[in-house]
Amino acid sequence: MAVPVTPLAGEKIARFAAMLGQKEQAPLARFGAVGYVLKAMYADSVQAVKNFHVRDDDVYIVTPRKCGTTWTQEMVWLLMNNLDFETAMKTNLLQRSPYLEVARLVPDDVKKEILKNVDMVENSDHLPSPRCIKSHLTKELLPVQLWTKKPKIIYVAREPKDTAVSFFYHEQLFTSFSGDRDFFFECFYEDIVAYTPLWEHMLDFWKMKDEPNILFNTYEEMKKDLPDVIRRTAKFLGKSITEEQVARLAEHLDFKQMKQNRAVNLEDTLAKIGRTRDDKGEKGFIRKGVVGEGRREMSPEMVARFDERTHRVFNEKVGGCPWKI
C-alpha cells in the first residue's frame, strides 16, 4: 500500500523556511498516517526504504531526533562488538552504525563531502552481520520486514520539552535557523518542523514496549542510571557483561567523554560543511546532555501546552506515560 504524501504549505511554514539556510529551504511534506514531516524529495525514496532487506540478527536503533540516538548507538555497537573500544575510537560511528535514510534527505554538499555519495540503503545491504542500523523514521515508514522478521529494536524516547530545546540548537547549527526559540517551539508543537510530530512517533513504540523484540529506553533513564541501562540493554541483546565492563563502558559513554570523542561528536563532519560549535557549548552536535532544560527555556504558556499534549497523547490514549507530567 502506498504511503500518502501531502505537501506542506501555509504562511507560517513559509516564515519558518525563510529562517533556514538557503541549502535547507527545500519543500516539506507530510508522510503517512501520522503526517510525519520530511523533505518532500523523500517521496522518491519511501518504497526503497520500506523494501530494505532486514536480517534476523540485525539490531535497529529507532528514535526521534535529539533523544539520545548517538549515545545509544555507541553503547549498542560496543555491546555487539565485544567492547572493542580501539575500533570505536578510530572509526566514525556513521561507518559502524549506518543511518539508514540519511542520504535520501541531506543537501548535496553533505552527501558529497560526508557520505561520499554513498547511499546508506544500498550500502547497508552489503555490510557484514550483525548490523547495527539507526533510523529516525516512524513505524509506518520503516522497512516492512521489521514487523515480519522481528529483529531486535531499541527505541529511545525523551521528554518532549527537552527534545524541542535540543532540536532548536541542533537546527541553529545544522540548518542555520535564524528565528527565535519561541517561534521554533510554536512550530515544533504545531508539527510543521521536519521530524515532527514527536508525540505520535513515540506513542507507536510505547504501545509496543512489551513486545519481546523491542526494548524501550528513555534519555532520562540513561542520565539517571547509565550502568543500569547498560545492563538492561546487554541482557536484551543476549550479551554477558561483568560489572567491571559495565563500569568501563559507562566511563566511555560519559557525556564529557562523548563530547570529546571525534568518532561520535561530528566535529570533523561539521568542519567540512562550514559549521562549528561555539566556545560556550551552546552549539555543538553533542551539546549539554541535561534533563529539565525545556522547563527552563520555554515560557510557562508553552510548557503548559507541551505538558497537556503529552498527557493527552499518552495518559488519555493508552493509560500510561514514560514521564511524570
Which pLDDT tens digits describe the chain residue by residue (325 residues)? 789 999 999 999 999 999 998 677 789 999 999 999 999 999 999 999 999 999 999 999 999 999 999 999 999 999 999 999 999 999 989 889 999 998 788 766 666 665 555 677 888 888 999 999 999 999 999 999 999 999 999 999 999 999 999 999 989 887 889 999 999 999 999 999 999 999 999 999 999 999 999 999 999 999 999 999 999 999 999 999 999 999 999 999 998 877 777 777 656 555 555 555 444 445 554 456 788 999 999 999 999 999 999 999 999 888 899 998 7
- Is residue 323 included in any domain, yes or no? no
pLDDT at 103: 77
Chain-centroid distance of CA 161 in Å reads 15
Task: Give me the helices (H) in 97-242, please.
Answer: 108-113, 120-124, 146-149, 160-175, 181-189, 198-206, 219-224, 226-237
How far lies 22's CA from each of 17, 19, 174, 178, 252, in Å? 9, 9, 12, 11, 37
pLDDT of residue 176: 84
Instruction: Please list the active-site residues.
Output: 136
Q: Which three cell numbers stand for residue 131?
A: 548490523
Say if 289 falls within a structural domain: yes
Domain count, the chain: 1
What is the Cα 317 distance to its own chain's centre?
24
Query: Helix or strand or coil: residue 133?
Result: strand
Q: Is residue 325 part of a domain?
A: no
Measured distance CA(316)–CA(325) in Å, rounded: 13
Q: Which DSSP symbol is given to 44? A: G
Cα 155 from Cα 259, distance rounded (Å): 22
Contacts of 303 (CB under 8 A, 6+ apart): 161, 294, 295
Expressed as residue numbers, the domain containing 314 is: 50-318
- Res 24: pLDDT: 75
Q: What is the chain's Cα-based Rg?
A: 19
Evaluate whether residue 80 is within a structural domain.
yes
Strand 152-157 and strand 59-62: pairing? parallel
Helical (H) or strand (E) element with 15: helix 11-18
Q: Structure pTM?
A: 0.92
- What does the pLDDT read at residue 285? 47
d(CA 277, CA 216): 31
Give the whole-angstrom CA distance, residue 204 versus residue 311: 15
Q: Does 243 fall in a domain?
A: yes
Q: What CATH number is attached to the domain comprising 173?
A: 3.40.50.300
User: Does any domain span residue 17?
Assistant: no
In a domain, 60, yes or no: yes
Residue 140 to residue 203: CA distance in whole angstroms: 12
What is each CA distance from 139 to 57, 272, 324, in whole angstroms?
Answer: 19, 32, 25
Burial class for 273, CB neighbours closer than 10 Å (0-12, 13-18, 19+): middle
The answer to whether residue 204 is domain-embedded is: yes
How far apart CA 77 and CA 61 sit, in angstroms, is 10
